[in-house]
């Protein structure tokens, strides 16, 4: 796994992308905008191979080093944020 520093925008893109992939896989669409839901309709099979890549990218964002972690460590949101990523990673795991 790379130890290169991740900028804030890259972290946000990883989390957003993983959220879209998880929504397509599980149907859990809370907090997913309607236009994104329209886009993922019928793309579930195309997105399935991306689960492991999305999980690895989320783990990389979660563990850092990154600008996002630096910002969140200074707030009360750090623990809940890590828990949210854990839940998202669990949604990306294959059923069974």
For residue range 10-23, list pLDDT tens digits in order: 999 999 999 999 99
Q: What digits encode the pLDDT tens for the residues 72-89?
A: 999 999 999 999 999 999
Q: How many CB atoms lie within 10 A of CB 26?
A: 13
For the chain, give every domain's residue range. 8-92
Residue 24: partners with Cβ closer than 8 Å, 6 or more residues away: 40, 43, 44, 47
pLDDT at position 49 over 90: no
pLDDT at position 96 over 60: no
Estimate to the nearest angstrom the gap between the alpha carbon of 33 and the chain centroid: 15
Q: What is the mean pLDDT of residues 29-35?
A: 87
- Give the Å distances, CA to CA, from 63 to 20, 37, 39: 21, 29, 30
In this prediction, residue 1 has a pLDDT band, given cuts at 50, 70 and 90, of low
Q: What is the mean pLDDT of residues 18-42?
A: 89
């Amino acid at each position: 796994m790379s130890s290169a520093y991740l900028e804030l925008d890259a972290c946000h893109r990883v989390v957003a992308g993983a959220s879209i992939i998880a929504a397509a896989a599980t149907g859990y669409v809370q907090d997913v905008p309607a236009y994104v839901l329209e886009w993922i309709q019928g793309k579930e099979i195309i997105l399935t191979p991306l689960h492991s890549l999305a999980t690895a990218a989320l783990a990389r964002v979660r563990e850092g080093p990154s600008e996002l972690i630096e910002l969140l460590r200074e707030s009360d949101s750090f623990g809940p944020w890590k828990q949210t990523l854990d839940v998202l990673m669990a949604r990306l795991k294959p059923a069974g």
